[in-house]
Structure 1
Amino acid sequence: MLFAYDEWFNENILKLNSKPNSEITAIYRGWMMNPEQYLNFYNNLLEKNIRLITSPKQYSLMHIFPNIYPYLVEDTTKIMTFPLYKDIDINTIKQNFDKFIVKDFVKSVKGSSFPSFFDNTISQEKFNSDMETFYKFRGQLLTGGICIKEYLDLKKYNGVTNEYRAFYVKNTLISLSRNSLQDDNTPEPPKALVEKYSKLNSVFYTVDFAELENNEWKIIEAGDGSVSGLSDKQDYASFFKALYYSIN
């Protein structure tokens, strides 16, 4: 079932290519929405006899990293959070992190002039200038607040990091795939670590794992399964088959 992208995201009008006569359950797979948009989307679909398996509460839990952070804290990087458009004291950050990255509560800025990370040589003036660039590039996609994350030194094989994305449905792992275009023979994250995060309080979500230079593994991201992308080398047919059978 399809909906009109422009009408929904630009005009907040939900148009479907068909409407069921009685209530059905569905999975959303598509573009990211902020939690308020998703709540509206969810309720609009309910009015059209479509109930998404992921509730608005579950979506917000997994989509907004600071929301899920307390449940990942044992195995993820440290973070600090700040309100949007408020001055951030760089010395406060330096007291906690030697190197760090800047994101909003969902995404970072990649492929631009914005620095991929900062270290403790950054001045307040330069940081303020860089934050103006951050706000410019995130634009209308800006979500939640500012999330400062401790920088992790990731291990590389042939110049490529070793990252994996795990999809979970109904507290069961349905997919674990290489997620950074690394070679097919790189080590996988420990099974115990992957299994440890299969019981988070959502029906459909992702957790991203990465190997560090010291051979430890850390969680580097988590997300709602509805809006998390598949890996470039992933078998799409096998994924959607596993997804289908996991909810039926």
Structure 2
Amino acid sequence: MLLLVPCDPVDPRRPDEHFAAEARAAREAGAAVALVDHDALARGDAAEGVRRVRRAALEDDDAADAVYRGWMLRTEHYDGLAEALTARGVRLRTSAEQYRRAHELPGWLDALAPVTPLTRWTTGSDLDDVVAAGAALGAGPAVLRDWTKSLKHSWDEAAFVPDAADAAAVRKVASRFLQLRGDDLAGGLVLRRFERFTGPETRTWWTTGPGGTRCALLTPHPDDDGEVHGEVDPDLSAVEPLVRGLALPFVSVDVVLRDDGAWRVVELGDGQVSDRPRSTDAVALVAALLAAAPRP
């Protein structure tokens, strides 16, 4: 396995400090590590972004199996990363199409519909479309976001909609969301039925390897990291077959207990760009990735 991590913006010969522990754990486990330039990737210059990745022979499976662990990339920029690496003889374990399915809500929503809040979404930022989505969702509170991100830290002004059927309320919250997200808007707007949750979210990490898809690691959600909540042991019996059906190489699935006792999926994301809580040893995450590596 080849682990790709962002370089330090100040010293491009070193890993970004946020991912340095994972790079160190990978090297200590015998995996190769290469640095990519996230800033170059994010501006669409994929060739520059992968300049430090050595060329490999495509027939060399060990060299070709690459996993990115870094900052979030828009789907079009991940497409560029995949193409630029292919030109260097390196193949990402997660294809561009698989990244899109995991990273953008419409890619995974239908598969997880039984275990996640009722959702309606739009393509683009037209406010009439999001008002129509609210009407389709029906009366009751909802949470607004885009295809990849919410603004829960601006809950009252740009996330929570008291009534999805109230066109004026939807317009107000959606307008503020669009103002705050600006050019970072991903895909379109999303309205999800508000559900009452109890306790903290748990981040579950899933890998697909020679033995199939499995939950390889349980961690706190990064937003809750460091808080004392006691042991959380989510019941994944309803979630597991649905995640397995997606057969995605590496994803994170955030789950939380609803007030009626049901475990619900809040978010699915591509594991390559999902944050690891600082309380979780990098060795554990790297070990999960190594265990899922294709066998020669």
Aligned residue number for residue 217 of structure 2: 175
Please say if 1:217 is aligned against 2:270.
Answer: no
Please say if 1:188 is aligned against 2:233.
Answer: yes
- Give percent identity, aligned residues only: 22
Higher helix share: 2
Matched-pair contact (CA < 8 Å) for 1:165–1:231: no
Using the TM superposition, give the Cα deviation of residue 90 of structure 1 relative to its aligned residue in structure 2, in angstroms. 4.2
Residues 140-160 of structure 1: per-residue CA shift (max 9 Å, x gap): 22111111111111103xxxx
Residues 37-72 of structure 1: per-residue CA shift (max 9 Å, x gap): 211210111001111000111111111112211110
Please say if 1:100 is aligned against 2:142.
Answer: yes
Q: Kindly provide the amino acid, as one letter, of the partner of residue 93 in structure 2.
A: I
Equivalent residue for 2:201, pick from 163, 168, 186: 163
Matched-pair contact (CA < 8 Å) for 2:162–2:169: no
Matched-pair contact (CA < 8 Å) for 2:141–2:164: no
Please say if 1:144 is aligned against 2:187.
Answer: yes
- Worse-matched range after superposition: 140-149 or 87-96: 87-96
Aligned residue number for residue 110 of structure 1: 152
| Corresponding residue SS for 1:175 | strand
5+ residue gaps, structure 1 = 157-161
Matched-pair contact (CA < 8 Å) for 1:174–1:242: yes
Higher RCO (Cα < 8 Å, 6 or more apart)? 1
Matched-pair contact (CA < 8 Å) for 1:208–1:219: yes
Using the TM superposition, give the Cα deviation of residue 82 of structure 1 relative to its aligned residue in structure 2, in angstroms. 1.8
Number of equivalences: 243
Aligned residue number for residue 67 of structure 1: 107
Please say if 1:206 is aligned against 2:206.
Answer: no
Write out aligned runs for 1:121-136 (5 A). Answer: 124-136=167-179
Aligned Cα RMSD in Å?
Answer: 2.3
Aligned residue number for residue 87 of structure 1: 127
TM-score (norm 1): 0.87
Residues 123-142 of structure 1: per-residue CA shift (max 9 Å, x gap): 54454233222112212221
Aligned residue number for residue 159 of structure 1: none
5+ residue gaps, structure 2 = 1-33, 59-63
Relative to structure 1, is the Cα distance of residues 63 and 38 closer, same or farther in structure 2, using a 3 angstrom cutoff?
same
